[in-house]
Structure 1
Amino acid sequence: MIKTKQITKGAMVCAIYGALLFLNQQSALMIESSASWIFAFPVLIYTAMSGVKMGALVTICMGLMTMFFGGFTTWFYSWTSLLIGFIYGVGVFKHAKNMTNFIICFILSIIANLCIILLWSTLFGIDFYEDFRLISQYIPFISLKVFTYLMIGLLGLLQALCIHLVALMVCLRMHMDIIPPQPLSKVQSPRWVGIGSVVVWIAFFFVQNVIECPTGIVDLAQVIFFVDCILLLYFGVVYFMSLCVKYQKKKWSFLSIFGAFVPGLNLLWMFMGELDCLLQLRKE
């Protein structure tokens, strides 16, 4: 039987979601254009607290609110965010592992971005060639197909990271019964990742400059190369954050993340991530 307290909380999060829709309309759709993942949090927190059935009911209510108070483009951004938030909230309620929640969120974010891009290109004729031409000035060997794959993958990764990290922070602040995040000291840097990265770099060099390969092989090599770079950036961030903890400079930990997104400087992050994997620097 539905309790009055659950109904009150459900009404409250629906009101918060309605306020987000209002702010989105008043800010010329700024929320959905730059941070549509914010729509996921009201239903995520409520589902994590109240369970699957009440979370599903509130998700449906929010979806109907979007139809009544949101514009056409808002429908798709908010509906996909609501679905991701609901499923993530179910994972928190069921005490699923944090990595499991993140991976599911990442996969759903990629599917959502892919569907939205296909829909926008079909309905409005959006062309990404101008963006590709700008990127190709800095990365001349990248192809349009690889650029599209990477853009969808990176958008999904960034959205999943934002949802995952903010959800963990909010759940911990609200003292919910969740699995605590893994300590930084227990994050492993496998040596096989470093060895595999060297193999990927060598293979990529030969495919690009020495061996004449079919277009499909070249595109696959580019995708694997960029995925490897992202993985090394992650280990680079972990390495620099570990240094901040080791030398009690936790205020500088933000720069450990920020540096991974600065062009040129992120090469140092990749290099240190590779060294950490190969030489196990954090274990010394």
Structure 2
Amino acid sequence: MSDVFEEHRNLLFAVAYRMLGTAADAEDAVQDAWLRWSAADRSDVQDPKAYLVRITTNVALDRLRSARAQRETYIGPWLPEPMLTSPDVAAEGAELAESVSMAMLVVLETLSPLERAVFVLKEVFGYPYAEIARALDRTETSVRQLGTRARKHVEARRPRFEAGGAERRAATERFLDAVVGGDINRLMETLAPDVTLWTDGGGKVRAPRKIVHGADLIARFFAGIVDRPYEGVDPGDWLLRRVEINGGPAVVVSGPDGPISVISATVGDDGRVRDIQLVANPDKLRAIAEGRTLPM
């Protein structure tokens, strides 16, 4: 029984994380799925993998409905919890890497819970509509409608890329180099004029509580933070580490007691940064502190 569950644990976590956007919630959903699996009568279960995905999806749906109410009162912008990913993720496929990118998870947050479930199962994991309908206890027609709505919604909001993956990665690296170096002129060169900065402090640490718009304001923001202590840690004591986060390059800023922020970016079709994500809420840095890698 436990062997079967463990065989599929990584898949279940991958589904739950894309549904919920945080490692903590995804792990709780997987644990709830284990409890239901343990208590269920499995004598008629012919496909344990499909059965477990069904349980996990419905647990995640329940948790997502509750989480959406809490996120409506969240202090400042809400961002997903960043997780380390293998450098091989991008090589395995651009679509796979994009499905866990910070930008994509932000877009998925705008879907209804059912739309998100259908999109994740269909577009990311390739489940047929008939199987998704059984998992969600819906008709196949209604699930197809949900899938069509979700896909159109995501397509309208996802970043458009004309440049190849290598070019986008190089542009992101240039931006991160400029941030780390505190060079405002180099930073301005990497930013699109209408760039936005999302900072998630959750009301627990110092961070802008509104989305910051415009290259000049954002460049001055980054130039300012490298010159003063953050959460009691002097810039001279920061450890800046280049890592792979959610399928793309990022910087983890750590102090003596662990990570204090993660900075990542989304590059547009002109090769300039269009969205910056800065996560500083300590509750969302636990997976990074623990060195957990996101199973794909």
How would you bin the TM-score normalised by the shorter chain? Answer: under 0.3
Structure with the higher strand share, 1 or 2: 2
Task: Give TM-score scaled by structure 2 length.
Answer: 0.27
Structure with the higher helix share, 1 or 2: 1
Higher relative contact order, chain-length normalized (CA < 8 Å, sep 6+):
2
